[in-house]
Amino acid sequence: MTAYAVANLRPAAQLDDEVFDYMERIQATLDPFGGRFLVHGATLEVVEGQWPCALVVVAFPALDDAREWYASDAYQELLPLRTRHMAGDVVLVDGVAPGYDPAVTAARMREAQAGAGAAGR
């Protein structure tokens, strides 16, 4: 199942050269793990709430590939070039399976919530 690395980054108004170096070199760290950018440097159209950050989404064949990429020596060596100059939040997450139905998830959640409420009585 496809997995994703999702970053919510807060770049400074003026980017340090190390950030550009990071950007120029990151793809080489992704390639061995099948990682590919889906969103990077795009203008966001905020339709609800606020989003003052830059969004980055990288797809991987599986969650283990994303984990192995993030923990890899090549990426860990590169990572400080960004983190020294740009705060952010990064998560690794599985995508949904083909045929995913949010109504089925809602029914499970509703059932679990009802069961928790009954147990607390």
Give the model's pLDDT for residue 3: 98
What are the pLDDT digits (tens) for 18-67? 999 999 999 999 999 999 999 998 999 999 999 989 999 999 999 999 99
Q: Which amino acid type is present at position 100?
A: Y
| Sign of the CA dihedral running 16, 84, 51, 68 | positive
Checking if the pLDDT of 73 tops 80, the result is yes
Exposed, middle or buried: residue 26 (CB in 10 Å: 0-12, 13-18, 19+)?
buried
- 121, pLDDT greater than 80: no
84 alpha carbon, distance to own chain's centre: 19
Q: What is the 3-state secondary structure (H, E, C) of 32-67?
A: HHCCEEEECCCCCCCCCCCCCCEEEEEEECCHHHHH
Residue 66 in contact with residue 3, Cβ under 8 Å? yes
How much is the pLDDT for 52? 87
The per-residue pLDDT for 87 is 92
- What is the rounded distance in angstroms from the CA atom of residue 92 to the CA atom of residue 60? 10
Say if residue 107's pLDDT is above 80.
yes
User: pLDDT over 70 for what percent of the chain?
Assistant: 96
Mean pLDDT of 82-100: 95
Mean predicted lDDT score pLDDT of the chain: 94
